[in-house]
Structure 1
Amino acid sequence: MTIVRLQNAGKQYGDRWVFRNVSFTVGARERWGIVGRNGVGKTTLFRTITGDDEPTEGEVWRHPGLRFTLLRQNRGEQSADTVHQAALEPFADLVAMEARIDAELEALGTVREPREAERLLKSYDRHVEEFRRRGGYEMRSRADAALEGLGFPPNTWQKPIRALSGGELGRLRLAQTLLAQPDVLLLDEPTNHLDLRSTEWLEEFLRGYPGAVLVVSHDRVFLERLADHVLHLEEGTAYAYTGGYESFLTQREERRTLQQRQYERQQEHIARTEAFIQKFIAGTRTNQAKSRRTLLDRMDRIAAVSGDEKAMGLRFASGGRSGGVVMRVDGVQCAHGERVLFAPFSAEVSRAERIAVVGPNGCGKSTLMRVLAGVTPPERGSVTMGTGVRPAYYRQDFTHLDPAKKIREEVAEAAPSLTFPELRGHLGRFLFSGDEQEARVGDLSGGEQARVALAKITLQKANLLLLD
């Protein structure tokens, strides 16, 4: 059964079309992978599907009563105090009903008047049945399973929200989104903050999900295991494919080959027709020439296949040569509240080394990076930079970006001496066109904010990169 249909949908911001002529349908149990380079409009498409944004042209039809939940990349506020309270927020109605049932049960133990007792008993039975029917007796086990599956063991469930790292907040938002159990799940880069075990749990959960799932992801393995349809946004529009990710790659190449062949044949036809028109437009076959000109003018032109999608031009400004020892870590220990993330350790980083910081979710990788970057002091120990070291720190949460500033203004902070043309050229290498450079950082998708952060860090003339 079709539950969502887009027909020639397009979305425009100012003079810029994000996408046009997008047509596809979503079935009740289908799994769609939404792919395409950063900035092509995947997040905008999601907002158009849910109705948060209206299409500029075309139509979006949704089955009456359809419920959506959209997981966005960007950080959102949490109203709950603890991890477990936040996981139960999607069940707010059931939690309130449970409290009402408990209150009625307590009242039944104290009421003396028979008619009042009968009224309370009927109300209690009615609420208990509704609670059972709506899955109230399973809500806590479902919340617990989602938390454990996404890397929150029971000893973290009473952890205050304010003490969570950016990655932990991302995983908590994902748990809330899954537990809401809407008819359509829309997930924007859901594996960003997951380790391998949590990613495998999410794959299994989504394969058994009773509704439709649409996922924006750059994780090819994840998409191949999950998706039965792929929507590829490119060249200002979208193409729908049936099958997994590998099947999509094959079909896309076949489509591009066919399109190029049709384009070349049409160009040959146009060239022959133009030659006929030029030869006879002023001669004895003028009417035929004019007729063919009219046909050419009305012809739907086939576009040539474009080259491969543009890639960012990553070039780091030189920070000069540092000393042989770049950083010394002496007895550093970090903690979240009373929980020690890692015991004191010492290390030395030498020039030109490439070091990967790995470990399961919540073990303190981001905390360590903040300590090494000098953003957060360690609980104990010290970090000392070597001679001539100029560090640059890439944060995963983008809290260092000013949401009120334009892209151009935000990136210019990293290199005030750049001329306007130089700044425009630099942003162009990060796939921001002229008009896009005037967009506000707070209006960007997570992928676009990542490009802004990279555009800044490549201008900082660093010789030590700390990349979270």
Structure 2
Amino acid sequence: MHTVIERSTRAHLTASDLHVARGGRPVLTGVDLVVSAGDRLGVVGENGRGKTTLLQVLAGALTPDAGSVRRTGTVGVADQEIPVPPQRSVGDLIDVELAGVRAVLRRFDAAVADLAEERPGAERAYADALAAAEAVDAWDADRRVDLSLAALGAVDDRARPLDTLSVGQRYRIRLACLLGARHDLLLLDEPTNHLDAGGLDHLTARLREHPGGVVLVSHDRALLADVVTEVLDLDPTSDGRPRTYAGGYAGYREGHRAERERWAAEHREQQRERQRLSDDLSAAQNRLSTSWRPDKGTGKHTRATRAPALVRAVHRRRADLEAHAVTAPEPPMRFTPPPLPALPGATLLDATDVTVHGRMDRPQSLALSSGDRLVVTGPNGSGKSSLLAVLAGRLEPSTGRVHRSRTARIGLLAQESPPPSRRRALDVYDAAIGRLVSAGRLAESDVVPLGALGLLTSRDARRPVSELSVGQQRRLDLAVLLAARPHVVLLDEPTNHLSITLVDELTEELGGSPAALVIATHDRQLLRDTASWPRLAL
């Protein structure tokens, strides 16, 4: 059975050549987009690329420095942060979000009254009011909100004060209102941040059947794969302008990869040509210095007459080199982990009946050898992080035992980074690897420089860790982990704070590693990508 969805013909959003700078730094450069009824545009990019800024511009909350935005139809916005006016209740928030629907119903009621009194023009006004109410199914709006409140696990007590609720609860209430209000255009900023599995399923279904247009900023790869029809990528490109990819999330992944490969190939070719021209100039200069000054004796006249031609050749080569420009900027780094080792024939880690009081009360047992794979699943609070910390030796179990091979290196990427220091990222990295070398746990020949991993630029590597973004700190954690060449890799929610591109590269690169790999995650796309791996459900 197929659901027939009446598309909102009013929904239309156009942005042309948007430019926004803050503090003298470009945030958005040359953004163009068109969203009509039935379009669901995903917006992706690294932290700091202007995704939230773009939504603010599209909503009219921020005026761009250049460019224009045209909106047709009603607009519903779900920001990451929701201010809480004093003494406002859940019901007040619902009334604010459904104000447009309430206004449509008031116009309809007025039109009915005019029609009953046979006022001039009442029939036309009634027809218009009826069409407007039917377009948003206004009579069913409160029921739709109630259904979404329940599906998203949100508070439905309309008398409850908003300031007694968590940020997540307030966000879920607003999201439920937006899904029920049937706005022509929905602008959503990271809507999955505060949702459980049931809420994610409900959001996905509502967005797929939304009759208007949607602009969705998200790092949730599963939501993007299930919902969007196009993707706007704000990450750097070879010409500095954003790219829009058709074909949904799959089209974006394919197009993004091809774009990066073309960019890298063009940059390499321009670098090779410049090197060739530089070599030609050096050769011409060498010929001039060795050929125009004749040795004493024979050939003096012949060699002297060659000098003007050699000088002209040098000038030509220098002019060719100066005329050649490397127009393709340095392409973005690609994640390149060092080879991870195996210890064949050995049990690297063996845990028997381990528990952690108050965190993981049900005993868990597992054994890992080289090449083993395991995905640990379970709801928040079930003990996934505690189990990985016990396996890594960072947390003592309350009961049970853990045996680790003396020769095995075990590395853990914790869910949160350690408190940031004022030390440079490069110094933190070098110190961590230096300790392993000094202890005889890592050979000098196995040490890789931070820059070789493709996780931090040379500029960011020289910045204090406290000045790095959360995502950059997470990249440093990953660099320290992998540079230690672990035989067992434990990853706790590895998609947190990492870009879509890096997560895809991490999954691809580590998937074929000979090291043992354990991942604790609730990320739906990562669960899909590891569907063939054994599962441990807590």
Scaled by the length of structure 2, the TM-score of the pair is 0.52
Asked if 1:5 corresponds to 2:15, the answer is yes
- Equivalent residue for 1:122? 119
Q: Residue 19 and residue 35 in structure 1: after superposition, are their counterparts in 2 closer, same or farther (change >3 A)? A: same
Q: Write the letter of the residue equivalent to 1:257.
A: E
Q: Write the letter of the residue equivalent to 2:323.
A: L
- Equivalent residue for 1:250? 254
Q: Partners of 2:154 and 2:467 in 1: how far apart?
A: 46
- Equivalent residue for 1:135? 133
Q: 2:328 aligns with which of 302, 306, 331?
A: 302
- Equivalent residue for 2:347? none
Q: Residue 143 and residue 23 in structure 1: after superposition, are their counterparts in 2 closer, same or farther (change >3 A)? A: same
- Equivalent residue for 1:317? none
User: Is the contact made by 1:101 and 1:124 (CA closer than 8 Å) also made in structure 2?
Assistant: no
Q: Residue 2 and residue 140 in structure 1: after superposition, are their counterparts in 2 closer, same or farther (change >3 A)? A: closer
- Equivalent residue for 2:266? 262
User: Is the contact made by 1:327 and 1:350 (CA closer than 8 Å) also made in structure 2?
Assistant: no
Asked if 1:60 corresponds to 2:57, the answer is no
Q: CA deviation at 1:352?
A: 11
- Equivalent residue for 1:72? 79
Q: CA deviation at 1:283?
A: 0.8
- Equivalent residue for 2:93? 86
* Count of equivalent residues: 365
User: Is the contact made by 1:90 and 1:179 (CA closer than 8 Å) also made in structure 2?
Assistant: no
* Mapping for residues 146-165 of structure 1, pairs under 5 Å: 146-150=145-149, 151=151, 156-158=156-158, 160-162=160-162, 164-165=165-166
Q: Partners of 1:97 and 1:27 in 2: how far apart?
A: 24
Q: Partners of 1:147 and 1:80 in 2: how far apart?
A: 22
- Equivalent residue for 1:338? none
- Equivalent residue for 2:370? none
User: Is the contact made by 1:31 and 1:228 (CA closer than 8 Å) also made in structure 2?
Assistant: yes
- Equivalent residue for 1:380? none
Asked if 1:38 corresponds to 2:47, the answer is yes
Q: Write the letter of the residue equivalent to 1:283.
A: V
* Residue deviations 1:170-200 (CA, integer Å, cap 9, x gap): 2111123334544432211112233333333
Q: Residue 154 and residue 420 in structure 1: after superposition, are their counterparts in 2 closer, same or farther (change >3 A)? A: closer
RMSD: 5.5
Q: Residue 275 and residue 152 in structure 1: after superposition, are their counterparts in 2 closer, same or farther (change >3 A)? A: closer
* Residue deviations 1:374-426 (CA, integer Å, cap 9, x gap): xxxxxxxxxxxx9xxxxxxx99xxxxxxxxxxxxxxx9xx97xx863369978
Q: Partners of 2:100 and 2:186 in 1: how far apart?
A: 20
Q: Residue 19 and residue 86 in structure 1: after superposition, are their counterparts in 2 closer, same or farther (change >3 A)? A: closer
Larger relative contact order, structure 1 or 2 (CA cutoff 8 Å, min sep 6): 1
Q: Partners of 1:277 and 1:42 in 2: how far apart?
A: 46
Q: CA deviation at 1:15?
A: 4.8
> Matched residue of 1:122: which SS?
coil
Q: Residue 125 and residue 47 in structure 1: after superposition, are their counterparts in 2 closer, same or farther (change >3 A)? A: same
Q: Write the letter of the residue equivalent to 2:69.
A: R
Q: Write the letter of the residue equivalent to 2:316.
A: Q
User: Is the contact made by 1:104 and 1:124 (CA closer than 8 Å) also made in structure 2?
Assistant: no
User: Is the contact made by 1:184 and 1:213 (CA closer than 8 Å) also made in structure 2?
Assistant: yes
User: Is the contact made by 1:32 and 1:214 (CA closer than 8 Å) also made in structure 2?
Assistant: yes
Q: Partners of 1:255 and 1:328 in 2: how far apart?
A: 49
Q: Write the letter of the residue equivalent to 2:334.
A: D
* Residue deviations 1:242-295 (CA, integer Å, cap 9, x gap): 112223222222222222222222122212223344455871246634542452
- Equivalent residue for 1:283? 311
User: Is the contact made by 1:327 and 1:349 (CA closer than 8 Å) also made in structure 2?
Assistant: no
Q: Partners of 2:117 and 2:428 in 1: how far apart?
A: 71
> Matched residue of 2:137: which SS?
helix
Q: CA deviation at 1:135?
A: 1.0
User: Is the contact made by 1:89 and 1:176 (CA closer than 8 Å) also made in structure 2?
Assistant: no
Q: Partners of 2:276 and 2:283 in 1: how far apart?
A: 11
Q: Partners of 2:120 and 2:42 in 1: how far apart?
A: 46
Q: Partners of 2:64 and 2:427 in 1: how far apart?
A: 31
Q: CA deviation at 1:205?
A: 2.4
Q: Partners of 1:10 and 1:104 in 2: how far apart?
A: 44
Q: 2:32 aligns with which of 24, 35, 38?
A: 24
Q: Partners of 2:199 and 2:364 in 1: how far apart?
A: 35
Q: Which runs of 5+ in 1 are unaligned?
A: 109-116, 312-323, 330-346, 359-364, 370-385, 387-393, 396-410, 455-466
Q: Residue 65 and residue 135 in structure 1: after superposition, are their counterparts in 2 closer, same or farther (change >3 A)? A: same
User: Is the contact made by 1:325 and 1:350 (CA closer than 8 Å) also made in structure 2?
Assistant: yes
Scaled by the length of structure 1, the TM-score of the pair is 0.58
Q: CA deviation at 1:208?
A: 2.9
Work out the percentage of aligned pairs sharing the same amino acid.
20
Q: CA deviation at 1:148?
A: 0.8
The range that moved more, 43-52 or 282-291, is: 282-291
User: Is the contact made by 1:72 and 1:187 (CA closer than 8 Å) also made in structure 2?
Assistant: yes
Bigger CA radius of gyration: 2
Q: Residue 128 and residue 430 in structure 1: after superposition, are their counterparts in 2 closer, same or farther (change >3 A)? A: farther
Q: Write the letter of the residue equivalent to 2:214.
A: V
